[in-house]
Amino acid sequence: MTHRELGSRVLLVTGGARGIGRAVAESAAERGWAVGVNYRVREDAASELVERLRERGTRAISVRADVSDERDVAHLFDETERALGPITAVVNNAGIVAPIGHLADMGADRLRRMVEVNVLGALLVARETARRLSTARGGPGGALVNISSIASRLGSPEEYVDYAASKGAIDALTLGLGRELAREGVRVNAVRPGLIDTEIHRDSGSGDRAHRLGQHTPMGRPGTAAEVAATVLWLLSDEASYVTASIVDVSGGR
């Protein structure tokens, strides 16, 4: 076993109280990671998850932070490291979606918040990760996995072009930062989920969207959060040691 396999691995998951983030936290705990769970409004869900992980013997903490606020992001990293030790991996998962509609009908407040959370928030988390993990800055090295979306490739016309555009930024961030940190001990990759059966579809006003559209994918069904988490955990692992600046689709062939 490597040193990290013996218990020094610390993972921070933003937006970890539900959906894909929650599945990543649970899967990481099963593999021996200590886990920091970030949330913004779902304190009950985050606390319940952390309690469950602790009952299984996992070192875990939940921390409230709005990723679009740089002071909150610094606090999030500080509190996680204070409780669990140096962070060695980050899953940049926090994001929002809004009701389905046409771009021409979307107000500036909606567009601004989409960019603040999905783009600025992801950049701030990635920046803090680079500052703390880069071996050139005295960090331990490690891995960052950004959660993008197949929407970045499909564009999501007549649904949420704003969300798709924000995820296109995540793809560019992954390619650029992955190459920037490649010689500084930090691997940066992204996962692009397709139609995944999570609560996020309710936020768009179409709770049955994953099942309704999933039957038309090449695999004939929606994916699960656990299936996305499995890919994320592989990218965090030593098995992906030569993988960086890469984007992996988990979309059932869509």
pLDDT band at 210 (very low <50, low <70, confident <90, very high): low
Query: Helices 19-30 and 43-55 meet at what angle, rounded to 10?
Result: 10
Beta bridge partners of 61: 36
Residue among 160, 52, 201, 176 at smallest CA distance from 123: 176
Identify the burial level of 115 via C-beta atoms within 10 angstroms of its C-beta, where 0-12 means exposed, 13-18 middle and 19 or more buried: middle
Domain locations in the chain? 4-194+225-250
Concerning whether 160 is annotated as a catalytic residue, the answer is no
pLDDT in tens, 22-43: 999 999 999 999 999 999 999 9
Class of domain 4-194+225-250: alpha beta
DSSP label at residue 136:
G
Average pLDDT over residues 2-9: 54
**pLDDT for the residue 215:** 77
pTM: 0.92
Q: Residue 62 half-sphere exposure, CB side, CA atoms within 13 Å? A: 23
pLDDT in tens, 117-132: 999 999 999 999 999 9
| Dist. CA 175–CA 152, nearest whole Å | 14
pLDDT in tens, 228-253: 999 999 999 999 999 999 999 999 99
- Write down the mean pLDDT value for the chain: 93
pLDDT in tens, 51-84: 999 999 999 999 999 999 999 999 999 999 999 9
pLDDT band at 4 (very low <50, low <70, confident <90, very high): very low
| Dist. CA 222–CA 96, nearest whole Å | 20
**pLDDT for the residue 200:** 64
In three-state secondary structure terms, 12 is strand
Q: Annotated catalytic residue: which of 39, 160, 163, 242?
A: 163
pLDDT band at 208 (very low <50, low <70, confident <90, very high): confident
**pLDDT for the residue 254:** 87
